Structure 1
């Protein structure tokens, strides 16, 4: 039986939920699996929070100040820097209480602000534990950005970062990337991803990996298209951007696109309802004549998520910096077509299955509006939505699941000999 330790900053959100699901898959396979997080929301008894509430409260203003400083130095709002592996919450003493001689594999999910990668190196090399980088974006491969936007410096060293003219910050980014490369050479981690794009980036990067594993997304087979009666009411658009302040989700571009779409809708007899979880921009929709906003709470479980996706006619994702995100894959498995920025997995799917969705350049609000308008005028039938779901699920079923890949890694010869 494999003894597996997962580390993730959260057990919620895109990467956090993925970590929780991978952990639950391991438990279902009778692995001795434990997930350690900084911020816990799940009720699972196998998920442990390794930070006191006092320490989390103390760190919160420090993190906000760090983010503010970064925002001053970055020229392009499309870039979001998180120094993954620079965490200061879990120290080496606490880490040694978690990783023991019985541990076979440590899986690092999204660990920004949680664990310093140098501590992982100290403990895991000493105990001959295999390391897996579970990639949900490019942050582990770069000087800190989630998506490269065509920049190829991560293939060598992220020096002279084009996103900032501040020399001190450029040095910090380069030093961080060099540290990531150095630790990858010493740790010889395995790369796992549900995206061919991400796995290709890992292969091209300056980081050194023992092996690369394309894996099925940590999404339940329950995510599927469930036919419903055709409605003559509003065309429902599920939107990924839900916070005005979160630049990387592209809300400003989404609002501009919807304003253009609202004028297009004057030509046809069709109303649009935009579905957004916990949105903080209700006032921004008051000037629209043909578009209304429906705000709802975040889904608490898979069944609620599946019902939400199946209620939508289109996913509108304006993310500027995610190499996923999870909601693109989840919604596709539920047969929802998309209009999305050409960032990450949306581009991958659009290339393989052109009927499944359309991608546009980030910040091209006019093109976004045109694509949504076209989707409204030619709404997908039940048969077409079923085909979307079947195509995507059959494609990912070609690959081994997380459990099978972790078994292979567990059975492989130890690579940490440097």
Structure 2
């Protein structure tokens, strides 16, 4: 049995990817279960660590404790959730599902679910451990994305996330702890993108560990092309406008590049375009976008999300650092072309001028040109067809489940 370990069940891109893999493996005949920190959603083969109200309060307390542990060190509030010290967590080494598992499969484990100490105890069990990386935390002193800092290539210190960076700061300390934990671990690292795999192979903490790249998966029977006109009628959206979609877990996250999307839309100023947005957002996020905005809020219902992707003419993903964005995969599965910066794993998903457009990094002008190019060149829907085909051949459940099954078999 494979046991997936994830802080969240379906909250955030990493949890969504982990949940999809758990279901994909089950659909392909693999005994697979998932253990999460807490969840308000009931799903077969998914077990929350916190069941009772008291346990849920403890789970919240661990999250708060983890944040408070970093508070004295943080540079400012903008980095509060971008660095995880992993000093608070659960010891799950004796949990019945952990004991029963043949393979332990880690995903995103921070925010009070697993600490470095509990990670050490898991690895000490001697079971084969697969770790799918959803950001850079595994091989840094604590940051989830390095924002251009390359200290992890040699040894983390002088961390730009800290209020008092130094040669022996807290990032140095946590780097040392991880080095000791990994030294004799039966650990295989999986990167959803080749971009992240290259970082793993270059990082000082992980360059001696087994590493490969397997993408995330998606259910292409759920995320599929649908009738655009019918959806727009149901959602009271205009049928005579080109709808440009921006989607993300948090539109105000600097890493998601909303600033560049705003500047690109201000450059376009075309009355035939309107904007469609879903995700978390602040009250002033849509000021000065230069055109009408249809804000759908945070979407948790899958069918409604599929409709949102289908009603759009393209999706814009101007992330500055990203692994293998679910939003691009979801949109392309629905036949919606994507425009994004050529950075991280985005360049592996978007084939330039075949199923979308790769804009020059941090160029709002290039982003605007990409939006115009896709809208102009997709009248015959070739880009849409290519986008769907890319997902079917690379990210479908069976394709990804087969690759993980081969890895598990090899480890056992």
Give the TM-score of the pair, scaled to structure 2: 0.82
Question: Is 1:56–2:55 an aligned residue pair?
Answer: no
* 1:385 matched residue in structure 2: 384
Do the aligned partners of 1:143 and 1:173 also contact (CA within 8 Å) in 2? yes
SS in 1 for 2:183: helix
* 1:277 matched residue in structure 2: 279
**Greater relative contact order (Cα 8 A, min sep 6): structure 1 or 2?**
1
* 2:18 matched residue in structure 1: 19
Paired with 2:292 and 2:324, the residues of 1 have a C-alpha distance of 27
Q: In the alignment, which of 227, 237, 247 is matched to residue 240 of structure 1? A: 247
Q: Shift in Å at residue 131 of structure 1? A: 0.5
Do the aligned partners of 1:158 and 1:173 also contact (CA within 8 Å) in 2? yes
* 2:83 matched residue in structure 1: 82
Paired with 2:73 and 2:149, the residues of 1 have a C-alpha distance of 19
SS in 2 for 1:10: coil
Question: Could you report, residue by residue, the CA deviation over 1:370-392 in whole angstroms, capped at 9, with x for unpaired residues?
Answer: 43344444445323210222134
Give the TM-score of the pair, scaled to structure 1: 0.81
* 1:298 matched residue in structure 2: 299
Paired with 2:374 and 2:68, the residues of 1 have a C-alpha distance of 42
The count of residues paired between Structure 1 and Structure 2 equals 397
Paired with 1:63 and 1:360, the residues of 2 have a C-alpha distance of 38
* 1:416 matched residue in structure 2: none
Aligned residue runs from structure 1 range 1-400, under 5 A: 3-12=1-10, 13-51=12-50, 52-65=55-68, 72=75, 81-83=82-84, 86=86, 88-91=88-91, 94-98=92-96, 101-113=99-111, 114-126=113-125, 128-162=126-160, 166-167=164-165, 171-206=169-204, 207-208=206-207, 211-222=210-221, 223-226=223-226, 228=228, 233-241=240-248, 243=250, 245-261=252-268, 264-265=269-270, 269-281=271-283, 283-285=284-286, 290-301=291-302, 303-350=303-350, 352-360=351-359, 363-396=362-395
Paired with 1:273 and 1:19, the residues of 2 have a C-alpha distance of 30
Question: Could you report, residue by residue, the CA deviation over 1:159-204 in whole angstroms, capped at 9, with x for unpaired residues?
Answer: 3335557225972112222322332222131122331212222222
SS in 2 for 1:187: coil
Do the aligned partners of 2:36 and 2:48 also contact (CA within 8 Å) in 1? yes
Paired with 1:260 and 1:78, the residues of 2 have a C-alpha distance of 30
Q: Shift in Å at residue 277 of structure 1? A: 3.3
Aligned in 2, Cα 1:122/1:410: closer, same or farther, shift over 3 Å?
Answer: farther
Aligned in 2, Cα 1:346/1:202: closer, same or farther, shift over 3 Å?
Answer: same
Do the aligned partners of 1:130 and 1:189 also contact (CA within 8 Å) in 2? yes
Do the aligned partners of 1:185 and 1:209 also contact (CA within 8 Å) in 2? no
Paired with 2:360 and 2:163, the residues of 1 have a C-alpha distance of 25
Aligned in 2, Cα 1:167/1:151: closer, same or farther, shift over 3 Å?
Answer: closer
Aligned in 2, Cα 1:188/1:336: closer, same or farther, shift over 3 Å?
Answer: same
Q: Shift in Å at residue 108 of structure 1? A: 0.6
Question: Could you report, residue by residue, the CA deviation over 1:185-239 in whole angstroms, capped at 9, with x for unpaired residues?
Answer: 2213112233121222222222156533432422113234446469852211221
Do the aligned partners of 1:88 and 1:115 also contact (CA within 8 Å) in 2? yes
SS in 1 for 2:32: strand
Moved more, 400-409 or 269-278: 400-409
Paired with 1:355 and 1:274, the residues of 2 have a C-alpha distance of 23
- In structure 2, stretches of 5+ residues that fail to align are 231-237
Do the aligned partners of 2:356 and 2:387 also contact (CA within 8 Å) in 1? no
- In structure 1, stretches of 5+ residues that fail to align are 414-418
